[in-house]
Amino acid sequence: MMKHVDLEGSHMSGVNLRVATLRNSNLQNCDLRGAILAGADLENCDLSGCDLQEANLRGANLEGAAFAKMLNALHMSQTLKS
């Protein structure tokens, strides 16, 4: 379980963070292309400027998460991947 982690600018393309707890973390400007975030707890995370292309967010808790200045538009189909 990780809370209040500063991962700003990290390159995490394809990383598997399934069911990870990252509440209140700073993920600004991260490369999360193809990342598996299914079921992850991203409550109150700052995802501003992230590249979430092809990321799997199915079942992720995104309550209070910030998505300003996204590099790619986040489409609902991305959250429905199994």
Query: Got the DSSP string for 47-66?
Result: -TT-B-TT-B-TT-B-TT-B
Taking the CA of residue 13 as centre, how many other CA atoms within 13 Å lie in the half-sphere pointing to its CB? 5
Q: What is the mean pLDDT of residues 9-14?
A: 96
pLDDT at 15: 96
- Token pair of 37 as six digits: 């975030």
Select the more confidently predicted residue: 54 or 76.
Answer: 54
- Token pair of 68 as six digits: 């300003």
The answer to whether the CB of 57 falls within 8 A of the CB of 78 is yes
Query: Which backbone phi and psi does 7 adopt, to 5 degrees?
Result: -115, 20
pLDDT in tens, 32-73: 999 999 999 999 999 999 999 999 999 999 999 998 877 666
pLDDT at 65: 94
As assigned by CATH, the class of the 1-70 domain is mainly beta
